[in-house]
Amino acid sequence: MEIYPSDVRFAIDVTEKISGMESVGVFDRIQKEALKLYECTIKIRTKKMATFP
């Protein structure tokens, strides 16, 4: 299963909208994890692009 940066960005946007309504601490943790995942996918894509001639 491949995770696309746009999917992660959408998840972050949703958590930002919900965080105003609910407990902020939980959604802050979700957002931090989503950002970590987003950064990892960008690094992997960059490495893949660099290996192709």
Structure tokens at 14: 């949703």
pTM of the model: 0.41
Please state, in angstroms and rounded to a whole number, the distance separating the CA atoms of residues 50 and 36. Answer: 21
Higher pLDDT, 43 or 35: 35
Quick one: pLDDT at residue 53? 57
Domain locations in the chain as residue ranges: 5-51
pLDDT on residue 26:
74
Tokens describing residue 5 = 């940066």
- Per-residue pLDDT, 16: 66
Q: In this predicted model, which residue has the larger pLDDT, 23 or 49?
A: 49
Encode pLDDT of 1-36 as tens digits. 565 666 667 776 766 666 655 566 777 777 888 888
